[in-house]
A = this chain, B = another copy of it.
Amino acid sequence: MTKGKKKNTTIRDVAKKAGVSVASVSRYINQNAPLSTSISIKIQAAMTELNFVPHIMARRLATNKTNTIGLLVADLYGDFFPPMFHGIESVTGEAGFDLLISSSARTGPRTEFPSSLGPHNTDGMLVFWDSLSEAGLHQAYERDFPIVLIHQSPPDKMSIPCVTVENKAASRRIVEHLMEAHGRRRIVFLRGPDHNEDSYWRETGYRQALEMRGIPFDAELVAPGEFDRAVAEQSIRNLLSRGIVFDAVFACDDESAAGVYSALYAAGRTIPNDVAVVGFDDQRFSAYINPPLTTVRAHTEDVGRIAARQLLQIIHDGTADSLTLVPTEIVFRQSCGCNP
């Protein structure tokens, strides 16, 4: 195969070979203007013969539309990402949009609006929690660049649409379940990372449940979980060694619930007899763990799908719901004391 100066074959080459004007070829490609059949056939022939592929960058320059949406994500370890991505991809793909992904795992939350995802490069952007700093968001907001936030509500004064899961009610209900169905009274809450909104609302639900049963909130019963197995394990160990009494724990997510299991087993406590434990997220391992974990299922794929739809809608007509809460449901397994 001779290489040589691989000259790009352009719309012009096609036009020449087909004996028509470039405008006609363009029209043929875009199917956006009447065109005689005879000419269409010639163009098609020329295109296949020349193995022509339109240069999308050129098209984008000319039309000033990118037809791609950006995805800014912090860290994509963990189980949440694949379904979320799947949801997003299913709607953007359907709509003919490409997906440009950028992770800020290496760099930490971006303080600058990433220029490769911003205006000129994408038509809009999906921003996950913790992936873009407030300053970065502000930049985008100022230029009213289409954005929708995922699992993060907009900072003050910016009204940016947001889609996330229903945290509070489900948390309240699962804690109530611990109290009502299983008679637990001393319930530990394991927090997520500081400033994480999911964690905040889950804690709020926890407190509400307590309040509704007239049980005073006890600060000793809340400890860091950080969405991290090891941190959660250590927290429970500390509680235990300090002799703090508890008969249940509501872990802010399943990951930390797994840490709770380890600490409890190491201390010779049984689940759920000695202490019931429940989590949040319904990760894949949660059904396999022993005993199977009672937890809250978040429909992450729906979150992705809805967020993508919102963004496309903004791009299309500028409108969107300012907040959409995707429903969650409790999955009752055995770690709370059910289904013995």
Contact = CB atoms under 8 A, between A and B. Distances in A.
A285 interface: yes
Nearest to A65: B57
A8 B61 CA distance: 12
Interface string A53-97: 111111011001010100000001111011101100110011000
Given A101-B99, A285-B285, A288-B258, A90 B106 contact: yes
Interface residues of A, number: 52
Quick one: which of A1, A51, A85, A289 has the most chain B CB within 10 A?
A: A85
A61 B64 contact: no
A89 B100 CA distance: 12
Contact of A93 (B61, B86, B106): B106
Q: How many copies does the complex hold?
A: 2
Interface string A262-296: 00000000000000000000011100111000000
Given A53-B118, A57-B120, A120-B54, A86 B76 contact: yes
Contacts of A68: 100
A196 interface: no
A143 to B, nearest CB: 7
Interface in A106-162: 106, 115-116, 118-121, 142-144
A57 B53 contact: no
Interface of A: 1, 3, 8, 51, 53-58, 60-61, 64, 66, 68, 76-79, 81-83, 85-86, 89-90, 93-94, 98-103, 105-106, 115-116, 118-121, 142-144, 258, 283-285, 288-290
22 contacts: A8-B120, A51-B142, A55-B61, A56-B115, A56-B120, A57-B120, A77-B82, A77-B83, A77-B86, A78-B82, A79-B79, A86-B103, A86-B105, A89-B103, A89-B105, A93-B103, A101-B101, A258-B288, A283-B284, A285-B285, A288-B288, A288-B289
